[in-house]
Every structure is written in C-alpha cells, then in structure tokens.
Amino acid sequence: MSRIGKKPVGLPNGVSATVSGQTVEVKGPKGTRSFTATDDVTITLEGSEIVVKPRGTSKRARQQWGMVRSMVENLTIGVTTGFKKEMEILGVGYRAAMAGNVLKLSLGYSHEVNFEVPAGVTVVTPKQTEIVVEGIDQQLVGQVAANIREWRQPEPYKGKGIRYKGEFIFRKEGKKK
C-alpha cells in the first residue's frame, strides 16, 4: 500500500479542479495546469479533494498510484504558490543580468553567454551574483535552472561556478609543494 497514494489531495481556497477520464485540470490564481495519468489509476473528485486509487493490484498500478498523486499535488502547489529555484554565482568577474527575455551571463569565457528564457518561466536577477527562476511548472523550473547551471558547474578546488543556494560543494585539496 502506498502511504503517499492513500492521502487525498486537498484543494485550497480559490483553486478549482475538473477531472475528465484520466486528465486532471487545476485552475488557480497563478494559472491553469493539467496532467494526464496512465490507465493504471482511477482519479475522482470528491468535494474539495482529489482521490487517486489504483486499478487492480499489479506492480505497475501500485507504482503509478503514489506518483500520480504527487503529480496532482504539484499541480495545486504550482497554481497557488508556484515553484522557485534560487542560484548564486561565485567567481571573480562572474555575473548575470537580464535583458528583456535573455539572461546574459559573464562566466569567464571569451564571450558572453546569452540564455533564452522559455515561456512559462520567469528569471530575475536581484543582484549580479544571484539568479531566481520561478514558474508554475516544477519540472520546467528545475530544467531551466539545470540548463543555466550547466554553463559553469561549481568546480571542487575553488568552488567557482553557478550553484543552487545552500548547495554543498565537496572541496578538494590542491597540489602540495
């Protein structure tokens, strides 16, 4: 039995949901999101809660049960509060700035990196060394943050690069004389 799957997903005030077959559509103050589940689970709307149950006792149905429930909960969180990834840049001369829909990164290369921000995500640079990625789709926010981080991952000797706020970088000792 899935501990996560057993819990119903409560809908906060100001959020409405519609279930049609295997598709769940959630509308809230930040926008509208939808998710289509596999045929291994049954999704029902009971009052102000969405209940997910497995169809049968197969291994795949039990696997999908908790995952679908988590996906539906992420829809409700996304349309109410949204998701946020905070990143910081460490390194001499490393900086970031927004110019319209393009994130301009100076990361020690001979050229400036221009990162086109996709639709559905907002990127803000409160300081030159901070980047905040926000949106209602958790997967898209995480992917955009990972793509930005990929341009200069933190290196283990000095820790220079783009890292998530609060991330621990395992440091190595340099050469000894």
As a whole number of angstroms, the distance between CA 78 and CA 140 comes to 11
pLDDT in the model for residue 112: 94
* Predicted confidence (pLDDT) at residue 153 exceeds the cutoff of 80: yes
The average confidence (pLDDT) of the chain is 93
* Predicted confidence (pLDDT) at residue 177 exceeds the cutoff of 90: no
pLDDT in the model for residue 125: 95
Q: pLDDT-based confidence at 119, cuts 50/70/90?
A: very high
- Asked whether this chain's domains 3-80 and 83-164 adopt the same fold, the reply is yes
pLDDT tens column, 56-101: 889 999 899 999 999 999 999 999 999 999 999 999 999 999 999 9
To the nearest whole percent, how much of the chain has pLDDT over 70? 99
Coil, helix or strand at residue 88? strand
β-pair partners for 2: none
- Across the range 100-108, mean pLDDT stands at 93
Domain 83-164 coded CATH 3.90.930.12: yes
pLDDT in the model for residue 72: 94
In Å, how far are 42, 112, 127, 129 from 105, measured between CA atoms?
46, 6, 13, 10
Q: Give yes or no for a contact between 106 and 112, defined as CB atoms under 8 angstroms apart.
A: yes
The domain segmentation of the chain, as residue ranges, is 3-80, 83-164
Q: Is residue 159 left, alpha or beta, with left meaning phi > 0 and alpha meaning psi from -120 to 50?
A: left
- Across the range 149-165, mean pLDDT stands at 94
pLDDT in the model for residue 176: 86
As a whole number of angstroms, the distance between CA 150 and CA 164 comes to 12
β-pair partners for 23: 20, 36
Long-range contacts of range 64-70, CB-CB < 8 Å, 24 or more positions apart?
Answer: 64/37, 64/38, 64/40, 65/2, 65/5, 65/40, 65/41, 66/2, 66/3, 66/4, 66/5, 68/5, 68/35, 68/37, 68/38, 68/41, 68/43, 69/2, 69/4, 69/5, 69/7, 69/9, 70/4
Q: pLDDT-based confidence at 1, cuts 50/70/90?
A: low
- Ordered alpha helix ranges (H), the chain: 3-6, 59-80, 138-150
- Across the range 111-129, mean pLDDT stands at 94
* Predicted confidence (pLDDT) at residue 5 exceeds the cutoff of 90: no
CATH level 3 topology of 3-80: Outer Surface Protein A; domain 3 (3.90.930)
As a whole number of angstroms, the distance between CA 48 and CA 64 comes to 22
As a whole number of angstroms, the distance between CA 96 and CA 99 comes to 10
- Across the range 36-58, mean pLDDT stands at 92
Q: pLDDT-based confidence at 109, cuts 50/70/90?
A: very high
